[in-house]
Amino acid sequence: MFCMCDHFEPGTDGASVDVANARMNDLITKYPLIAEQHRDSDGRVPRRSWFFPPHYHKHGWLMSLVKLCADGYGEIELHLHHGKNLPDSTDNLRDTLKLCIEEYSRFGIFGKSGTEPKYGFIHGDWALNNSRSGRFCGVDNELSILKETGCYADFTLPSPVGGLFDRSNSIYYADTNSRHSHAHVQGNFVRVGSISNSDESGLLVVQGPLHPLRISSSFLSTRIVGDGLDNFLPVSEARIDSWVDAGISVEGRDDWLYIKTHTHGAMDAETVLGDKMHKLFDYLESKYNDNVKFCLHYVTARELYNIIKAAEAGESGDNPVDYKDYLVSEPSYDSSVDISEASSLLSGLVSKTYF
C-alpha cells in the first residue's frame, strides 16, 4: 500500500496571492496528467491525500482542491498549525477542530462512520501533542481532543525534529488518556485481534518509514532519513527499496506492507509534479507490481486506515483494497459549493494563536 500525504499549503513562506494561485493551478493541471499515466494492480491511478489547513481556506483554494478530489485524484484531510505566537488552549483547539470539520463538510469533505464525519490529521510544525516544548501547540492532551472530535488516525510521524524512539517503523495506538507531551511516541502495536472495540483503543498513529541512507560513496555520509518527498533529497530506487524493507505492517499480517510518505507539495512541485514523480511511480510499478511477489495498491490516508483496521480485525481476504471503505466511508465531494473562504469565526479561532 503506497500512500502519499501532502501537507498542502499554497501560501506558505509568505507567498503572494499570485504565487499561491500559480501553485494551485500547477497542481490542478499537472497532477491529473501524471496520475493518468500510471496504474496499480487494481487498475487505479495514484491518489494523493491533501492535508489542508484552515488558515489557507481562502481565495477559493479549497474549492479548487475539492474539484480535483471530485474527479477521483485523491481526498482531503485536516492539517492544523496552531500555538505559534502563544500556546493554544484545550477549549480553543476543540472549538477550532469542530468548526473546521463543520465548514469543510459543506464540500462533502471527510468520510463517515455511521453519521459522524471522521478525519485524518497531520500537525503543523511537527509539534503533535505539544512535543516541541510548548512551541507550535500548547495542548498536552491534544491526542484526546483529536479522538474526541473524530480523528481516525494521525499521519504526522516520523518527525524531523522529534528524534528516534522505540515505536519507529510501526503502527500503534498512542495513549489518549495521558497528559504527557510525548505520549504520541509510545503505545501498543497494532496486531491481528488486538482491539475488539475501537472506542477502547488510543489514537491510531500511522508512521512512514525511517531508515539509514548513504548520501554519497563515503560511509561517513550515512544519515537517518524518513518518508519525505522534497526538492533536497532525491527519491532514489534505493530509498524506495528501504521503504519496503522497513516492513511496516500489522503484527500477524506482515504480508500487507504500508508505505506512508509525505511532501509539502506546494513548495516541492519540482519533485511531486514532474519527471521525478513519474520515475517514482515507474519504479513502484515495475519492481513492486509483478502480481507474484508483490501487488501494488495506491491508497489514500483514509483507505490506508480502513485496510489497517481490516487487517487488525483478522479479515481474510487476499486483496486489501476490498477493505478500502471498511469503517470510514468514501467522501462525497460536492464541487458545486461556492464558498471561497473560511468563516470569520473559524479564521478568528485559528488566528488567536497562529498569526
- Here the CATH number for the domain that contains residue 38 is 3.20.20
**Cell numbers describing residue 262:** 509525505
pLDDT for position 200: 63
pLDDT digits (tens, 9 = 90+) for 98-145: 999 999 999 999 999 999 999 999 999 999 999 999 999 999 999 999
pLDDT for position 113: 97
Residue 163 lies in a domain: yes
CA distance 298 to 45: 7
Burial 141-150 (b: 16+ CB within 10 A, else e): bbbbbbbebb
pLDDT for position 234: 83
- H or E element in which residue 18 lies: helix 17-35
Cα–Cα separations (whole angstroms), residue 1 to 135, 152, 181, 253, 296: 34, 18, 31, 13, 6
In the chain, the number of structural domains is 1
Please give the span between the terminal C-alpha atoms of the chain, in angstroms, as a whole number.
37
Residue 354 lies in a domain: no
Grid coordinates 507567498 are at which residue?
15
CB proximity list for 14: less than 8 A, separation 6 or greater: none
177: nearest Cα among 145, 206, 150, 136: 145
Contact 307, 6 (CB under 8 A): no
**Cell numbers describing residue 204:** 491510531
Expressed as residue numbers, the domain containing 316 is: 2-347
Contact 156, 123 (CB under 8 A): yes
Return the axis-axis angle of helices 275-287 and 17-35, rounded to nearest 10°: 30
CA distance 75 to 303: 10
Q: Three-state SS for 171?
A: strand
Secondary structure tally for the chain: helices H, strands E: 9, 14
Residue 289 lies in a domain: yes
- If 0-12 CB within 10 Å is exposed, 13-18 middle and 19+ buried, where does residue 279 land? middle
Residue 352 lies in a domain: no
Residue 54 lies in a domain: yes
Residue 212 lies in a domain: yes
pLDDT for position 217: 75
Return the axis-axis angle of helices 17-35 and 61-70, rounded to nearest 10°: 10
The pTM for the full model equals 0.96
pLDDT for position 164: 63
53: nearest Cα among 20, 100, 93: 100
Low-confidence ranges of the chain (pLDDT < 70): 162-164, 196-200
**Cell numbers describing residue 203:** 489514537
Cα–Cα separations (whole angstroms), residue 84 to 11, 265, 289, 312, 351: 17, 22, 43, 37, 10
Half-sphere exposure for 80 (CA within 13 Å, toward CB)? 32
CB proximity list for 92: less than 8 A, separation 6 or greater: 349, 352, 353
